[in-house]
Homo-oligomer: A and B are copies of this chain.
Amino acid sequence: MTLAQEAPPRTTARKPAPLHASLIVQGRDRTGIVAAVGSLLSSHGANIVSLDQYSDNPQGGAFFQRTVFSLDNLKAVLPAIEQDLQERLAKDFELEFTLRDMSVPKRVAIFASKSDHCLLDLLWRQRQGQLPVTVSMVISNHPDTAEEVRGFGIPFFHVPSMGPDKSAAEAEHLRLLRGNVDFIVLARYMQIISGDFITEVGVPIINIHHSFLPAFIGAGPYAKAKERGVKLVGATAHYVTEDLDEGPIIEQDVVRVTHAETAADLQRRGADVERAVLSRAVQWHSQDRVIRNGNHTIVFA
């Protein structure tokens, strides 16, 4: 039994306050990058709130840094910081950088099919304030979840996608998405995405695959897992590339199963892992914690 006097949840140090910005820097490692970034931000009066860095080889390997800083007059000063970064980092150090005002939530479109566990979990977490995103729309090839999605105050678009030719559906998707979203989440959207669509839409796409990749690539992973007799089933969130289930992995997790569970049981047990893994991947992506490096990710979680 629990008592009544528990205080309401306070806002958290992790959820960036309105005046925070993130700076992602990547390129070839060299002496002095951390100092240069630090000095540049200090010179504008910015206070570094968190800093993570990783180098795959300090002798000239690839370097990655995520810095979150706070600044009272952030919006006014950001252009000057960007210009300085352009001068110092891009020219002197030959680094690439991305600077982002974290007070503006990223806009996401969620694609779903009939299964609603991943979709509803994302919508519920967004409503709770756990995900710093604006859900611009939900697109589904089935109408089943329309009412529930709209109950969250979010636009729902039903775009049927039958047969092998997805071009009409994808054209409709592009009309809806263009200019409206910063990334896309496939929340158990059981349709193939074409390479053309990935190129055209031009924003990152996160998929949840219902197995511990690279085990059980492709369709029906729970049936395959049952067939192989594994003792754990898992899920994998990854960025979508043209190669089926081969994109850079963001997050994975597993749950223990036994001989007594059927393929349908595995599917149900796995569904809990899928929604947990996907929500972590979406949270990290929306907080600029994930950096892509070829087919790998650097995750400053």
**A residues within 8 Å of B by Cβ?**
1-14, 29, 31-39, 41-42, 45-55, 57-58, 70, 114, 117, 120, 124, 128, 130, 148, 151, 186, 188-193, 207, 209-210, 212-216, 218-220, 223, 228-232, 234, 240, 244-245, 247-254, 258-265, 267-268, 272, 276, 295-299
| A6 in contact with B219 (CB, 8 Å) | yes
CB of A268 within 8 A of CB of B9, answer yes
A40 CB to closest chain B CB, in angstroms? 8
Residues of chain B within 8 A of A190, CB atoms compared? 2-4, 6
Q: Are B192 and A3 in contact (CB-based, < 8 A)?
A: yes
Q: Is the CB of B207 within 8 A of A231?
A: no
- This chain: copies in complex: 4
**Which B residues touch A298, using CB under 8 A?**
259
A129 closest partner in B (C-beta): B268
Contact A276 B272 (CB under 8 A): yes
CA distance A267 to B193 in the complex (A): 35
Q: Are A45 and B58 CB-contacts (below 8 A) given A12-B262, A259-B297?
A: no
Q: Which 9 residue pairs are nearest across A and B when measured between Cβ atoms?
A: A35-B38, A3-B219, A215-B215, A229-B296, A12-B264, A34-B38, A32-B42, A35-B42, A35-B39
Q: Which residues of B contact A253 (CB under 8 A)?
A: 232
Shortest Cβ distance from A13 into B: residue:
B262
